């Protein structure tokens, strides 16, 4: 029996807390004898292991109600790792003030400080950082629409 990804997404939405603080970033289903369902969640304030466990229990219950308890599968509910790209515009808000590395639709890359999220939710303002000889130079803030971003990663700094 194969698991229907669209049905799982619907079940996942029903498994999230009603207050809307958590949202699904990704859901994948492996194509194997014993499928693995991997759910990546995030929240406006991040999320902890308790929230992951709660959603995991709710989703597992819904899967078993629909497919029966004979179905053999693995369920993993997790938060995005620090090195994972930002996939949902809602993820950007908690990274304001941090440095992002962007890959854009036109093939260029930009690294800079995330200044703000545009009020209309269409993009971000980024103060690009470029290296000029041995110094860093900060360029004026530019607007980068979400539609123009193919990948965004938070730059981890250990300074």
Predicted confidence (pLDDT) at residue 30 exceeds the cutoff of 70:
yes
**Coil/strand/helix, residue 36:** strand
At 5, give phi and psi (nearest 5°): -60, -40
Among 9, 44, 42, which residue's Cα sits nearest to residue 27? 9
Q: What mean pLDDT comes out for the span 96-122?
A: 94
Strands (DSSP E) contained in the chain are: 22-29, 36-43, 74-78, 99-104, 109-117, 123-132, 135-145, 149-154
- Give the pair of three-digit tokens for residue 86: 């930002």
Q: Mean pLDDT for the chain?
A: 91
1 band by pLDDT with thresholds 50, 70 and 90: low
- Digit-coded pLDDT (tens) for 125-140: 999 999 888 888 888 9
pTM for the full predicted model: 0.79
Q: Which domains does the chain have, with CATH numbers?
A: 5-78 (3.30.300.70), 85-154 (2.30.30.100)
């Amino acid at each position: 029996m194969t698991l229907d990804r669209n049905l799982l997404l619907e079940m996942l939405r029903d498994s999230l807390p009603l207050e809307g603080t958590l949202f699904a970033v990704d859901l994948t289903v492996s194509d194997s004898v014993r499928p693995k369902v991997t759910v990546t969640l995030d929240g406006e304030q991040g999320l902890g292991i308790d929230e992951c466990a709660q959603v995991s229990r709710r989703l597992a219950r819904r899967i078993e109600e629909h497919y029966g308890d004979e179905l053999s599968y693995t369920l993993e509910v997790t938060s995005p790792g620090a090195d994972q790209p930002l996939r949902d515009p809602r993820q950007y808000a908690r990274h304001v003030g941090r440095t992002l590395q962007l890959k854009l639709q036109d093939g260029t890359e930009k690294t800079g400080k995330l200044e703000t999220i545009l009020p209309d939710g269409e993009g971000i303002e980024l103060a690009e950082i470029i290296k000029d000889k041995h110094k860093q130079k900060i360029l004026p803030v530019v607007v980068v629409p979400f539609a123009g971003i193919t990948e965004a990663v938070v730059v981890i700094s250990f300074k």
